[in-house]
Amino acid sequence: MIGDRIEKPVYVFLAVFGVIAPMVFPAYVQQIAMLWIMIVFALTWDTMGGQMGYNSLGNIFFFGAGMYIAAVCQIWPWYDVGEYTDPSGILNTSFTPDQYFLGLGLGVVLAALGSVVLAAIFGLIVFGLRGPYFAIGTLGLAIAAGELIGAWDWVGGGGGIRLPVFPSGTDADPLFRLPFGDLQSADLQGVFFYWTCFVLAVLTFLFLRWLYRTRFGLMLNAIRDDEAKAEALGVRTQLYKTVAWSISAFFLGISGALFGNIIGFMEPLEVAFPTVTFGIFMVLMALLGGKGTLWGPVIGATLFHIIKEVTWTHLLGWQWVVLGLLIVVTVVFFQQGIVGWLQEKRPEWFGIEVDRGTAGQRADAETADALEAARDAAGDVAGDAAR
């Protein structure tokens, strides 16, 4: 099985790349940080869409929810949130490094937990839906959330929230600055969030890798293949579906909390609940790489992110055309994705066995004898009936 052979080198390569990237490519720190977030998007979407067969178009809801929960947590302990977000206000705000990092830590934790709670609540509603209805229902959830937040003045309404400014380099903890010398505040922020995003992507990947090997992963696949059969076997499908969505929500909530702080400003429609960009990208990335596989979303996200960044840089004006084409081609002609295609062409690489026309049975004298006896008995009964 090729997976076992190349697994270790791939992990080593990714770990080394992840660690040295901010030093080797300092100009691309934010793009590579975005790559880690994209990988989290694709991986968490695939838990639902690939492994469980529930194509959610609204997973971006948890991204936005996490972003808003984190923002409120970062402001609320030190300032009145309503005053802070008031666009006409003249509130002079500044955050000490302690306040900033305490708020951020609290924000990330509550963004994750809050998203889980939201997933559990909305799961009760949307998991009554199947197939395309589920996709539309979840899409509606994300769009409605964006519109509702836009009308909620306490969190800034459509005007959004500007997030606390990252502490300047001189204020920051010397331990944290150590490897990066005399970075300026903006660079320091870039490097800090690079690391958090990298750690998030690694934790997401390792968690899902473990999850897919447990009974839970197996039951997700069973629900994907035939939910009615799973129910007929006594599986608590609603519980499995809700927990799976909560797991997606947990990591997406954290990614939202981090992304808001990378951008430094958030508003409901374009940044927090971007259903037509990130919301669609996460589906496309998982499809492109191969849905229902562990590595597919990672490969898909990486490829997609590179294509996206390159077209944005070198084909400006045509970037949406290129992305649109990529979506159409993937969805129409290449649904199995890269890893799915490889599994078809080279099943032995993945430890998948295909029928080579072997038939028969394990030599088991006891079973054979028992069958013989039963056959005799059946014959007797048939004989009796005939008589």
Among 322, 327, 326, residue whose Cα is nearest residue 312? 322
Among 59, 92, 71, 28, residue whose Cα is nearest residue 261? 71
Shortest separation between residue 375's beta carbon and another protein, angstroms: 5
- Look at the block and give the residue holding tokens 């998203």: 115
Q: Does the protein bind another protein through residue 225 (CB under 8 A)?
A: yes
Return phi, psi of residue 265, to 5°: -150, 145
Nearer to another protein, 182 or 353 (CB): 353
With CB under 8 A as the contact rule, which of the stretches 1-9, 66-74, 133-141, 228-236 interacts with another protein? 228-236
Q: Does the protein bind another protein through residue 355 (CB under 8 A)?
A: yes
Amino acid type, 331: V
Measure the CA–CA gap between 304 and 27, rounded to whole angstroms: 20
Q: Does the protein bind another protein through residue 214 (CB under 8 A)?
A: yes
Q: Does the protein bind another protein through residue 291 (CB under 8 A)?
A: no
- Total binding residues for another protein by CB under 8 A? 46
Among 262, 303, 192, residue whose Cα is nearest residue 34? 262
> Taking the CB of residue 113, how many other CB atoms lie within 10 A of it?
15
Q: Does the protein bind another protein through residue 381 (CB under 8 A)?
A: yes
Q: Does the protein bind another protein through residue 219 (CB under 8 A)?
A: yes
Options 69, 172, 222, 271; binder of another protein; rule CB under 8 A: 222
Options 5, 130, 209, 236; binder of another protein; rule CB under 8 A: 236
Q: Does the protein bind another protein through residue 344 (CB under 8 A)?
A: no
Which structure tokens are listed for 235? 């599986």
- Look at the block and give the residue holding tokens 């992304």: 259
Amino acid type, 46: D
What is the DSSP code string of 185-197?
Answer: HHHHHHHHHHHHH
Shortest separation between residue 373's beta carbon and another protein, angstroms: 9
Options 34, 55, 224, 294; binder of another protein; rule CB under 8 A: 224
Residues in Cβ contact with 147 at an 8 Å cutoff, skipping those fewer than 6 apart: 268
Residue 225, burial from CB neighbour count under 10 angstroms (0-12, 13-18, 19+)? exposed
Options 221, 246, 319, 336; binder of another protein; rule CB under 8 A: 221
Amino acid type, 295: W
With CB under 8 A as the contact rule, which of the stretches 174-182, 201-209, 298-306, 372-380 interacts with another protein? 372-380
CB 242 within 8 A of CB 119: yes
Shortest separation between residue 5's beta carbon and another protein, angstroms: 19
Q: Does the protein bind another protein through residue 130 (CB under 8 A)?
A: no
Q: Does the protein bind another protein through residue 348 (CB under 8 A)?
A: no
φ/ψ region of 163 (left if φ > 0, alpha if ψ in -120 to 50, else beta) reads beta
Options 12, 89, 352, 369; binder of another protein; rule CB under 8 A: 352
With CB under 8 A as the contact rule, which of the stretches 22-30, 134-142, 227-235, 281-289 interacts with another protein? 227-235
Question: Please, what is the angle between helix 185-211 and helix 237-263, to 10°?
Answer: 170
DSSP 49: I
With CB under 8 A as the contact rule, which of the stretches 12-20, 188-196, 318-326, 359-367 interacts with another protein? 359-367
Options 208, 243, 282, 294; binder of another protein; rule CB under 8 A: 243
Q: Does the protein bind another protein through residue 200 (CB under 8 A)?
A: no
Q: Does the protein bind another protein through residue 346 (CB under 8 A)?
A: no
Measure the CA–CA gap between 160 and 364, rounded to whole angstroms: 71
Shortest separation between residue 385's beta carbon and another protein, angstroms: 6
Binding residues for another protein (CB under 8 A)? 211, 213-216, 218-219, 221-222, 224-226, 228-237, 239-240, 243, 292, 352-355, 358-362, 364, 367, 370-371, 374-375, 377-378, 381-382, 385
